Amino acid sequence: MEMLNVALPKGRLGNKVYSMFASAGFECPEIEENNRKLIFENREKGVRYFWVKPSDVAIYVERGAADIGACGKDILLEYEPDVYELLDLGVGKCRIAVAAKKDFSYDPQRTLRVATKFVSVAKSYFASKGRDIDIIHLNGSIELAPILSLSDVIVDIVETGATLRENDLEVKEEIVPISARLIANKSSFRFKNEAIERVVDSLSRLTSIT
Amino acid sequence: MDKTAIEQSIFREDERAIFALRSLYRRYGYTRYALGKFEEYELYVRNKNFLVSDSVITFTDADGKLMALKPDVTLSIIKNTDVTEGVKKLYYNETVYRPSKSSGMYREIMQTGLECMGEIDSYLIYEVILLAAKSLESISEKFSLVISHLGIVSAIMEEAGAVGDVSSELLRCIGEKNAHEIEEICKREGLDGNKLKRLASLYGSPDKVEREVRELSRGGRAEDYAETLISVVRAVEDAGYKGKIQIDFSVTGDTRYYNAFVLKGYIDKIPSAVLSGGQYDPLMRKMKKNGSAIGFAVYLDLLEELERTSSSHDCSESIILYDGESDFDVLRKAAKECREKEPARVVKCHDAKVCRPDGGKYRRVIRVVGREVIKDDGNA
């Protein structure tokens, strides 16, 4: 049987997604063992899993190293990989939002300084609003930028808003709600169609129940 | 050594494909169209949405005119071909210059393809799609030609009430097989998204999807298009390609340029489409040319992936190791005998008895130690 290669994002979201795959009948017991393996497979079920950095899932899938994968919508919006987006898995729900210090007010006469790791999303959002912005590309600790006056606002993922509140920041505008999506390589979709459709059908039954 | 063996060992996948495709297109009456490397930049400015990327390498010519290294071939062929009457059948084999999507750096890409322009009819459309299937077959037996009809997609979007930006958004979702987002957009815009969701998810052989295609197209402008799509796809299947042709409406294109058949070709183990094309009547009108046109391009640079996954290519060569003590005549004879069977690389090392061949995989390792010839199995 030809194996279906599945890229899962490391971390909490990946664990949730793997649980969904397992509940849908694509379990892989060795993934739950505490070991240092990088690739886990269940030959009987025809699946091979590997954990990758969440932002790399789309690259693995687009380039065919993985046939399918689970990836946040934020990554898909930012990098626009040439993949199929087959299912909203309904987990990892949060939103990309514009946040700033509570007392911040937008001055249309000044260029808005925006700190973010989602450069493309931020650019197209502010362009659609006709606002002139200066993008500051950061890779982490985005919330620090307005506190230290590096930026006026940030564009970042907001889940509960607790980190923002603790740092005297708040959501000013919501850009887009996001959640984990099941993506597929366009070529694998042709040559491993039956296996991919089986996964999609099983997972969609699961997502429609929850 | 027979001719096939020479081909296998010397040519790269893309080089083999060039010869095979050239011969195929000539057999169907296509004539070679040779182009220069440069084109006026203005052509691409006017049609930038037709291009895979809008980044173009430009330079100022001696007469001050802004020129570009060709990022595309079809636009130049349309511009330079007289299609006032009859049909023009042309094929090309050209280098184009485009930025890589991942690195953004420009790459030189070898592309081959064909264009059929003028008074084209169902037969000529069938012939072009058949040639697309044959092109893929000449590269690998494990291929899939995926066909869609933009007329059907546009008609169903129109029927749902989608216009302007919303229809572009929906077209993108259909291209991503993103049924959940189609539902969200239709809910937001108050449209009936049921047919569009089914259209995005539909995929399979004509046997599998014909009924649903007819059902989705019933009663509207799409009905005639569905008839044409099914009859052409069936005809290509009947030409010996059953199981190789799929109908899939996620194969889309910019509706400002493409209007009817659109196609993508995939080869197993290559992660993206190696063949892409379609019917581009609106582009012909935009460039003030008569008639219709259909064509496709084969991206030969992607065939490198096949070489990476093929193990046979790695072990076609042997290596002959010798050192300062090896006998000249014995070495000469060993090299001659070996080359009668397979390509061989003769390499001097410090000790032919123990040296390991560095880099590459070899069918056999032959060691000339003094007057003795020692043959190993190789490392492939």
Residue of B176, B185, B245, B302 to mutate, testing the A interface (most A Cβ within 10 Å of its Cβ): B176
Strands (E), chain B: 31-32, 38-40, 58-60, 66-69, 87-99, 106-118, 143-149, 203-204, 245-248, 261-267, 275-279, 292-299, 318-322, 344-348, 365-369, 372-376
Predicted ipTM beyond 0.90 = no
Mean pLDDT of A90-102: 94
Query: Closest to B272 (Cβ–Cβ): which among A85, A186, A191?
Result: A186
Distance (Å, rounded) from C-alpha B71 to C-alpha B68? Answer: 8
Residue A131: φ, ψ to 5°: -100, 140
Residues of A in contact with B246 (CB under 8 A): 190
The interface residues of chain A toward chain B in range 97-156, judged by CB-CB distance below 8 A, are none
Least confident of A42-56, A94-108, B80-94, B296-310: B296-310
- Residue B152: other Cβ atoms inside 10 A: 25
Q: Render pLDDT for B179-206 as a digit per residue (tens, 0 to 9).
A: 999 999 999 999 988 999 999 999 999 9
Mean pLDDT of B93-97: 92
Q: Render pLDDT for B277-331 as a digit per residue (tens, 0 to 9).
A: 999 999 999 989 989 999 999 999 888 887 776 654 456 788 999 999 999 999 9
Instruction: Please count the residue pairs, one from chain A and one from chain B, whose beta carbons lie less than 8 angstroms apart.
Output: 48
The pLDDT, as a whole number, for residue A44 is 92
State the pLDDT confidence band at A180, using cuts at 50, 70 and 90.
very high
Instruction: Give one DSSP letter per residue of A87-156, joined into a string.
Output: EE---S-EEEEEEEETT----TTSPEEEEES-HHHHHHHHHHTT--EEEEE-SS-TTHHHHTTS-SEEEE
Instruction: State whether B269 and A84 contact (CB < 8 Å).
Output: no
Residue B176: φ, ψ to 5°: -95, 0
Residues of A in contact with B142 (CB under 8 A): 191
Query: Closest to A82 (Cβ–Cβ): which among B267, B269, B272?
Result: B272
Mean pLDDT of chain B: 89
Q: Are B201 and B248 in contact (CB under 8 A)?
A: no
Distance (Å, rounded) from C-alpha B93 to C-alpha B316? Answer: 28
- CA angle B270/B275/B276 to nearest 5° reads 130
Least confident of A72-81, A184-193, B267-276, B369-378: B369-378
The secondary element (H helix, E strand) that includes residue B283 is helix B281-286
Mean pLDDT of chain A: 92
The pLDDT, as a whole number, for residue B1 is 45
Distance (Å, rounded) from C-alpha B137 to C-alpha B155? Answer: 33
Cβ-proximal residues to B83 (8 Å cutoff; 6+ apart), any chain: B117, B118, B284, B289, B290, B291, B293
The pLDDT, as a whole number, for residue A107 is 84
Q: Render pLDDT for B333-373 as a digit per residue (tens, 0 to 9).
A: 999 998 888 888 899 998 988 888 777 778 889 999 999 99
- Residue A183: other Cβ atoms inside 10 A: 28
Q: Render pLDDT for B109-167 as a digit per residue (tens, 0 to 9).
A: 899 999 999 999 999 999 999 999 999 999 999 999 999 999 999 999 998 888 888 99
Length of chain B counted residue by residue: 380
**Which residue type does B293 have?**
A
* CA distances from residue A134 to A108, A137, A156, B83 in whole angstroms, order as listed: 13, 10, 16, 50
Taking the Cβ of residue B97 and every Cβ of chain A, the question of whether any pair is shorter than 8 Å is answered with: no
Least confident of A88-97, B100-109, B125-134: B100-109
Query: Closest to B271 (Cβ–Cβ): which among A64, A86, A193?
Result: A64
Taking the Cβ of residue A203 and every Cβ of chain B, the question of whether any pair is shorter than 8 Å is answered with: no
Instruction: State whether A193 and B142 contact (CB < 8 Å).
Output: no
Greatest C-alpha distance within chain A: 64
Instruction: Take residue B321 and report the two structure tokens written for it.
Output: 């190791």
Distance (Å, rounded) from C-alpha B327 to C-alpha B334? Answer: 11
Q: Is this model's pTM higher than 0.90 or not?
A: no
